Amino acid sequence: MMSLQNEVQEGPDLNPSRNPFDKKEYRHILLPNGLRALLVSDTVAMAQNKQSSSSSSSAMDDDGGDSESKQSGTEEEDEPVDNGLDEEIEDEQDEDEFDEEESEAAGGGIRSAAAAMIVGVGSMYDPPEVQGLSHFLEHLLFMGSKKYPSENAYDKYISKHGGSDNAYTESEHTVYFFDIPQEHLEGALDIFAQFFIEPLMLESSVERELNSIESEFQLVKNSDGCRLQQLMCHTCGHGLGDHPMPQFSWGNIQSLKEIPEAKNADPLAILREFYNEYYYASNMRLVVVGAYSLDALQDYVVKSFSDVPQKGTDFSFDAKYEPKIKNVGMPFTSSSLQKVYYVIPVRDRHAITITWQVPSQMKSWKSKPCDYLAHLIGHEAEGSLLAALKSRGWATAACAGVGSEGYENASSHALFMVSMTLSEEGVTHWQDIVEEVYRYVGMLRYHCDKGLPLFLFDELKAMQEMSYRYEDEPSPEDLVENLAEMMAPALDLPANKLLDALPLLYEFDPVAVADLLESYFTPANSRIDLTSTKFGRSADFEDSKPSKKIAAVDTPLTNSLFDPTGIMPLQEPFFGTQYWCQDIPNELQQKWTAISQAQLPPPESSLSLPKQNKFVPTEFQLKPLPTDIDPMDVDTPMVTEEMAQDADPDDNDESAGFPSIPPRLHPSQLPSLLCDTNVLKLWHLQDQVFKRPIAELRILIRCANAGKSPLHSACSDLLVRLVAESLNEVVYMASMCELSTSMSSTDGGFSIRVHGFDEKLMTLFGIVLDTLLSFRGEDNSTLPRGIQKDLFDLCLEINSRRYANAGMKASSLVSDVRVKCLRPDLWSSNEKLKAISSLDIPTFLKTVSEVLGNIAVEGLYHGNVNVSDAQHAQSEIIRLLEASGGAVGLARDEYREHLVTKVPSATDITLRCAAMDPEEPNQAVEVYIQVGEDNTLDRIMVDLLVEMMYEPLFDQVRTTDQFGYHVSCDSRWTDGIIGIQIRVVSASKSAEEVNARIEKFLIDFRELLSKMSRDDYFEQMIGLAKQKLEPFNSLSEQTGHFWSEIRDGRYQFQVELDEVLTLRGISQDQALEAYDKWLYPKGSGTRRRFSVNVVSVNSLISENPHLSQEMCGDFNDERINKFQEICKNQTFSQVY
């Protein structure tokens, strides 16, 4: 070992390039076998570890609250339903109708250790006869090694110690990563290293992992974003094997088994050859972060990773990596360009994407010319392309640039895309929209010739420097993943620039910018993808036999929107996406080419370069703390002096090894109530931990009439949308300066959040709140100033489409139904869609006036803000309330009550609901088991049971029995009611089979728990305790934790201490007793359980012969109402 250590090369010192708040120490090393490793010594965690090890747990007396483990979640009724101020280009996440969110870790403990390995091979390297091989290999490496042959050895080790792990395959690399408590890092690294030394890749694992790959593919098969990506690859014009672009990167049984076998190829043999060809040390980069010295981390890495196979003998930091695909050429041939592709979506949506292929941008990290052009073309403020199109009612959102996905940003090429979400009218004007894009390009060319204003570059450069300097501390898992991406072999960044090459802008290169505009941003070098339900829905062509041959339709393109009537669509072979293709005629191309020449827009055009940004901060000083507060140590900001001085060293139970429980924070380190009236309750905390010029202000506007009918709820959503759209230009300019805001409607009112540099935070907050409150008042006939009827109509169209698209994925619908069953006072998207089907402005204004009539505000101001700042915020909120219609306020008993259904015991209820998407390939099942009203013991007991169940459930139901890719269990907290959820999403098993398998698992796990060794049980307890005590990584995390307590009315800001103390006293017999009472199917008859099943309409026809796809929303609402009848409409009293 000593000789190996002597042969380790040390790379350039990265520590000088850290941001000033980064106290971690870095060392870049090169092992003798060619493996590069970045070691990160987490000095803050080392200090925490030192303090923790010198003190033991102290007794806690207060009652508990809520904090969630990594497998836990909270029903967040007051979190965004429709985040209008933070809109993405297109909602491909299929957000749950009623959001659930994991609460942040509690703080006070020690940060985890983490590691990541990036391997320089991805899906673009797949052999054409086995597409998806890289992804398949990623799966198989988890299935045991020669040294650790058990298939779940790695997952079991990580899980039982309270860690987490994952992996993903990109176009040119594959990343594997994990996080784990510090003392288990060495053991985890050794198991992890075997992925890259001697994995088994057994034939017995192949079939099961093929099914996992297939299940994973089925989960994304109906994602419009994924379908468009694969369509672009399929229609690129290259033959399979001639270029990596046409590869099918996801992989499924068809590409990984059926096609290879038809060609007499052996997929497993090819996979092993593939592994041997690309999985070698000098094609890998390792990142390890831990609370250890750099020398200790180096010892761990050398010990575990020196046996990774090597190729070659001459290794150095100066060696240049040459990607295999670097010189394959551009992804699109001339046959795929100068065309428009009309794409049929799964969801109700309208979008356009204009794509230009450009040279690879990986070597342009200093000047980032594509980022500069993305900033201009994707701008959203006055003079922008989006603002011009919005003013005509054609577009609702836009983004531009080279994306982070590997097929867009590769060593061979880059794809610069301009993507827009359109209105229905915008679809018919798509040619005019493209014309506006090229008019903007022409304007940019003109300014390039004349000289672009220097302030545009200076602002960008300054903001990137500010963002880097004051960035939040990432979680250990995020840190290693991000650093691994920086070390990607294909990216080949200089060894001394790994930390700051990508975050910072170093120089302006006007020549590169001009060359992109002149040579590549042209009609001849573009393709257009127009997606719209005006061409039909995917289900409309379910029984047709589309052609898989790529060919343009004979119908010539005209000014009228393409009419597909009578023309059979083409079909992409893996996702089944249907589309038509038309050549763009020469005369139209020539028109666009002429418009794109260097010239200013005509006088009537609103297009212009961005104005100087008034939100650029200039003040970065930290506000002095009050004199009666002792500042925390800057070098160890997560550790208070009290941790060392006040911790009780008495630890006489058998919990040796249980983490020390830190003492309670001083009241000055917790939010204090600055104002307490029926009008405003304002909490304030001046940051003493993170020491950045950052603040966050959150308020909840509690409305007595919020959500009292579907119309009230839908109008609240629409109000949020209107405010967001009317303020988009202001909010966008602020967001460019790291000052972000979001607003949402909740079942209790409205929520507003503003986060960023504190200097101008109140300016933005005041604008947002003032605009929202402008809808208060008696005038029900006129929209507030600055908001036109066209904008109202556009927002109504957007929200109607979102309601229609809600629950299109079975995996989200199943949660929506479960939450709606538990919360009978919520309204479904189907109910809200009906309520606004004929909505006019007077009705809308009357309804929102009712909602905003009787209100009270509760808020939290946290960060680099002193008492004077908080008092100013208090005055501003009250002033705006009084100016908008009075500030009477609400007493606590006037708040809208949140009711939770009481599930009857000893009755196993199953709700069979209809999938909203007729092509949904998956069945989704959620089994919910209700525990009861919140208390510390039951809450931490549930978390412990979930922690112990998670890995065996995953291993048995997913890995071994192959019931589906998505298998999980979670604790749930629904307005003060505790529960447990088990979820399985399967494309291969029926809902009945899934329910039966879950019940079998619950029976089998009882035996596993009863026979679990004392050491294994205690390890699970320790892992959970460390999760609970893991410190916050950022101000926003800590604010989120405090805010959840305020929003839910508990106000228990340190509940984690009670939970961990209670956890330490839970015996294995107590855990078994709780399991028998709550979860065991053969228990005492006290179990409160129901199961929600989302299945296809065809599965329900026999018992509901009149059911059709159009009736699914009503049918599911009826199922929920019948559930309430079964429960006799009984609800819990409000807990908080």
* Angle, helix 586-595 to helix 430-450, in steps of 10 degrees: 40
Task: Work out the number of other CB atoms within 10 angstroms of the CB of residue 949.
Answer: 22
Q: Give the sheet arrangement for strand 339-343, strand by strand.
A: 395-402, 414-422, 350-358, 526-532, 339-343, 578-583, 570-571
Give buried/exposed letters for 676-704 (b at 16+ CB in 10 A, else e): eeebbbbbbbbbbbbbbbbbbbbbbbbbb
Backbone angles phi, psi at 682, to 5 degrees: -120, 120
Q: Which residue in 994, 996, 968 sits closest to 982, CA to CA?
A: 968
Task: Work out the number of other CB atoms within 10 angstroms of the CB of residue 96.
Answer: 21
Q: Establish whether 725 is a catalytic residue.
A: no
Are 517 and 597 a contacting pair, CB within 8 Å?
Answer: no
Are 349 and 531 a contacting pair, CB within 8 Å?
Answer: yes
Are 146 and 200 a contacting pair, CB within 8 Å?
Answer: yes
Instruction: Provide the token pair at 405.
Output: 């996905």
Helix, strand, coil tally for the chain in percent (to 5): 40, 15, 40
Q: Which residue in 101, 201, 187 sits closest to 151, CA to CA?
A: 201
Measure the CA–CA gap between 983 and 953, rounded to whole angstroms: 10
- Looking at residue 7, its amino acid is E
Instruction: Provide the token pair at 172.
Output: 């040119």
Measure the CA–CA gap between 903 and 930, rounded to whole angstroms: 7
Instruction: Provide the token pair at 532.
Output: 């719209």
Cβ neighbourhood burial of 418 (10 Å; 0-12, 13-18, 19+): buried
Catalytic-role residue among 68, 138, 473, 1019: 138
Measure the CA–CA gap between 442 and 436, rounded to whole angstroms: 10
Measure the CA–CA gap between 823 and 837, rounded to whole angstroms: 24
Instruction: Provide the token pair at 295.
Output: 């020398």
Q: Give the sheet arrangement for strand 855-863, strand by strand.
A: 672-676, 680-686, 855-863, 694-703, 749-757, 739-746
Measure the CA–CA gap between 428 and 350, rounded to whole angstroms: 10
DSSP 1024: H
Q: Is 132 left (phi over 0), alpha (psi -120 to 50) or beta?
A: left
Q: Is 657 left (phi over 0), alpha (psi -120 to 50) or beta?
A: left
Are 175 and 196 a contacting pair, CB within 8 Å?
Answer: no
Are 102 and 74 a contacting pair, CB within 8 Å?
Answer: yes
Q: What angle do CA 12, 16, 18 make, to 5 degrees?
A: 110
Q: What angle do CA 837, 841, 843 make, to 5 degrees?
A: 70
End-to-end CA separation in angstroms for the chain = 59
CA dist list (Å): 155 to 117, 137, 211, 602, 619: 16, 17, 19, 62, 47
Are 131 and 233 a contacting pair, CB within 8 Å?
Answer: no
DSSP 988: S
Point out the residues that are catalytic: 138
